[in-house]
Each structure stands twice: as C-alpha cells, then as structure tokens.
Chain A
Amino acid sequence: QVTLQESGPALVKPTQTLTLTCSFSGFSLSSDGMRVSWVRQPPGKALEWLGRIDWDDERFYSTSLRTRLTISKGTSKNQVVLTMTNLDQADTGTYYCARSPGSRYGSDFWGQGTHVTVSS
C-alpha cells in the first residue's frame, strides 16, 4: 500500500526558509524509474510543479524557482525533503508530494497536502 504524507510548519515569516518533508511507504525511491515530485497550489489557483528527485538521485526544478529550491533525500530512506528559501506571501498555498513510477505513468499517488501560510 503506497502512502505519502507531507509535514512541516503551517506558518512561516517572509524571507524565512521553508523545509517540508515527504514521508512515504509502500515503494522504494531506489527502484528504477521511480521519482517523487513536489507540487504546490496557491489558494484558488492552478497546480504548479516545483521539482522532483529521481531514483538515480538526479534532481530537476521549476525554471522560475530553481534558485530558491532544493530537493533532497531525507535522513530516512523513505523521506524526501523540499527546502525553499526567501519565502514571500506569494508562496502561500498547499504543498503536495507525489510519486511516479516513471515518465510514462504520471503521478499515481499523492499526499494529502500541507498548507503553508507566509505572513509576518
């Protein structure tokens, strides 16, 4: 049974750094082709792909956010960590992690999402 769950602070001040953790079970990120992505959604707006980490430890990022994002494997082999620097109110929204078994397959399992508010 595949599950993913995001965790992290609900409130962050402007200019601070956000760290979110995606804890997953039921699959291995080391399996050939596997990938975990981060996606966010501002209130009332569309989904925005942030980045992903692949089974071979390759990372890819949104073009507009690449200077602020880092995706890494966590201390546990079943965790992926998203770090976003220099937060702004425009970064308020729900952040999801999702897994995909390969480029052909889409993201078939998602976490429930964690809402982050950027406010002083």
Chain B
Amino acid sequence: DIQLTQSPPSLSASVGDTVRITCRASQTMRSFLNWYQQKPGRAPKLLIFAASSLQTGVPSRFSGYRSGSDFILTINNLQPEDFATYYCQQSYSAPNTFGQGTKLEI
C-alpha cells in the first residue's frame, strides 16, 4: 500500500496569509494525487486533482505541485472560509489511501 504522510498535522494562520501543506508518498507513483477540503459535518470537497489541476469552481488561490515524492498544496491570500481540514489522497493504485489530514486554524 502507498502511505501518505501529511505535514503539518495542524497549522495556525491568519486571513491574507499564504500556507503550504505537504503530502509525502511512501513510494514512487504517478501524479495521481488529489487534495480535498473538509469542513465539520460536511462531505469532503475536491480541490485539486492530478497534483496540480484545479477542480472546476475552486478559487485560483488554491494550487498544487509535485516535487519528487512530495506533493504540496498552497493556499494564497487565505480567506475566512478556507479554515478547514485538508486531506491528500492517491488514486494511482488501490487501496486509494488518504493522508492523515491537516487542520488549518485561525
């Protein structure tokens, strides 16, 4: 199984900040890495697929890229509605594992 290690587990930031969340894969894989945002009591929402492709309707302040085994989610100019928990997931090979999540707090 591919293990995904997210860091940091939690992050404090302010409106207007730029934050980066990293997801490290335990083995080499194609860039089939997805990022989701989840708010309390809600289903996850797809933000980024294939490491760097922005899902339709997602604001452009969200972006993703790959650097070797690391996949990075960047959120520029944080908005109040961005405070949530973020998960990465690989869809390269089954089981399609998730990272442990990063809670973004004010």
A binding-site residues for B, Cβ under 8 Å: 37, 39, 46-49, 51-52, 60-63, 96, 98, 100, 103-108, 110-113
A46:B1 contact, CB within 8 angstroms? no
CB A102 to nearest CB in B, in angstroms, measures 8
CB B104 to nearest CB in A, in angstroms, measures 15
B95:A49 contact, CB within 8 angstroms? yes
B55:A46 contact, CB within 8 angstroms? no
Query: Within 8 Å CB of A62, what residues of B?
Result: 95
B100:A105 contact, CB within 8 angstroms? no
A62 CA to B97 CA in the complex, in Å?
A: 8
A49:B55 contact, CB within 8 angstroms? no
Quick one: which of B42-66 are within 8 Å of A by CB? Answer: 43-46, 48-50, 55
CB B37 to nearest CB in A, in angstroms, measures 12
A63 CA to B28 CA in the complex, in Å?
A: 19
A58 CA to B70 CA in the complex, in Å?
A: 30
CB A18 to nearest CB in B, in angstroms, measures 19
Show 20 residue pairs from A and B whose CB-CB distance is below 8 angstroms, ordered by the A residue. Answer: A46-B87, A46-B98, A46-B100, A47-B38, A47-B44, A49-B89, A49-B98, A60-B94, A60-B96, A61-B95, A63-B1, A104-B50, A104-B91, A105-B49, A106-B36, A106-B91, A108-B46, A110-B43, A110-B44, A111-B43
B95:A63 contact, CB within 8 angstroms? yes
B97:A49 contact, CB within 8 angstroms? yes
A109 CA to B43 CA in the complex, in Å?
A: 9
A47 CA to B96 CA in the complex, in Å?
A: 11
